[in-house]
Amino acid sequence: MALDAPQIVFAGGGTGGHLFPALAVADEMRLRHPSASIWFIGARRGLEQRLVPRAGYTLRSLGLSGIKGRGPVGRLVAGAAAGWAVLRCLFWLLAARPDLVIGVGGYASGPAVLAATLLRLKTMVMEQNHYPGATNRWLAPRVDEVCVPSDAARERLGGRGVVTGNPVRSEFTRIGEPTLGPVPSVLVFGGSRGAHSINVAMGQAVERLARTDAPPRICHQTGAEDESSVIEAYRGYPEERREVLAFIDDMPARLAAADLVVCRAGASTLSELAAAGRAAILVPYPHAADDHQRHNAETMQSAGAAVVLRDAELDGERLAQRIVELTGDRDRLRAMGRAARQLGRPRATSAIAGVAEALIAGGSAERGADVS
């Protein structure tokens, strides 16, 4: 198969942690192969419904939901939906016969990649976490290639995979040093859907921060559910130094403007922090599979790039104290940002695109290789 006009399908999404790496690789493939046909398979309620068409790609949607935590009837309904999703993907892929199907995680990834393997199409999985999820652990031995962020992830997949790092959009790698002006700038977010515990703690923390000599400029992404309550909590904060948004569309620009970040510890988020070279206060999501966010956060803290606050210990007083300590020590912020950048893999997107090209051309990357 010539590489001049490949047809590539990306399957999955749901959250920014799955979708943004997929879009980064899709954009890289489109840049390398302008005649390529690239389209996505996603869930009807996922973030992809808004962002994939905006990025210029066709999206085909599946009605899917999670099985974990549901009762017997709910599991039966979700299982039936997954079975129907596999059949729909079989129909789409049989008609299109793409050169490569790439699973990126999320509800739509499993049915689409499974359908592709049944049709004996070339398949590949992008795993973002150092502790791979159940779907990718099941898919790993069945696909042609797996791209993983680290040797730890590869070991947890039975030695399967190519170490590429996590892809981030090129805009993150072009972010320079923080400005560290007279008014510190803090970016707060909890992922594409927000984080309730962070929202509550920041709502309490701003009362103390408002009383400091130089209240920081705060941009706070809340998610849709908590937007109104967080706006209310900021009422007493200086108006010119607060911005509360349900969702941030241009995260690279927001990171570039930040001196300090308060956020969860998802793999994609940490890859973006590393690429941007930004210090962070990390609050790992306590219910993440295999507690992988805690492990991610502790790795950043051990490298000197972040301070970790456990979700169970999070409150307004502790959060405000950490923000005041860090924004008041510019030398430490610079050192943390540089430590974060040392953890980055700026060639990850290019490396994954190279693995995809090798599969399309009929080859494969070296097993266990580090190509980042």
Rounded CA Rg of the chain: 21
Q: What is the domain partition of the chain in residue ranges?
A: 7-166+346-360, 172-342
Best-predicted range by mean pLDDT among 61-65, 270-274, 289-293?
270-274
pLDDT interval class at 140 (50, 70, 90): very high
| CATH top class, domain 7-166+346-360 | alpha beta
* The amino acid at 158: G
pLDDT interval class at 69 (50, 70, 90): low
Q: Which of 363, 370, 359, 330 is nearest to 100 (CA)?
A: 359
Q: Which of 187, 180, 186, 148 is nearest to 334 (CA)?
A: 180
Unique residue bearing structure tokens 């599991």? 75
Question: So what's the pLDDT on residue 200?
Answer: 97
Question: So what's the pLDDT on residue 16?
Answer: 78
In sequence order, the 6+-apart residues with CB closer than 8 A to the CB of 180 are 259, 330, 333, 334
- CA dihedral (174, 243, 47, 157) positive or negative: positive
pLDDT interval class at 41 (50, 70, 90): very high
Helix axes 16-32, 348-360, angle to 10 degrees: 60
pLDDT interval class at 257 (50, 70, 90): very high
Model pTM?
0.80
In sequence order, the 6+-apart residues with CB closer than 8 A to the CB of 83 are none
CATH fit for domain 172-342, picks 3.40.50.2000, 3.20.20.70, 3.40.1190.10, 3.40.50.2300? 3.40.50.2000
Tell me the three state secondary structure of residue 297.
helix
Q: What is the mean pLDDT of residues 157-170?
A: 91
Helix axes 267-276, 16-32, angle to 10 degrees: 60
Q: What is the mean pLDDT of residues 92-114?
A: 94
Query: How many Cα neighbours within 13 Å face the side chain of 126?
Result: 38
Question: So what's the pLDDT on residue 17?
Answer: 82
Tell me the three state secondary structure of residue 168.
coil
In angstroms, what CA-CA distances link 268 with 18, 48, 79, 128, 245?
8, 16, 28, 7, 21
Question: So what's the pLDDT on residue 45?
Answer: 80
pLDDT interval class at 315 (50, 70, 90): very high
* The amino acid at 86: V
pLDDT interval class at 3 (50, 70, 90): confident
* The amino acid at 22: A
Specify which residues 43 forms β-bridges with.
Answer: 62
| Beta-strand pair 185-188/260-263 | parallel
128 CA to centre of own chain: 8
Given a contact cutoff of 8 angstroms between Cβ atoms, the answer to whether 96 and 119 are in contact is no
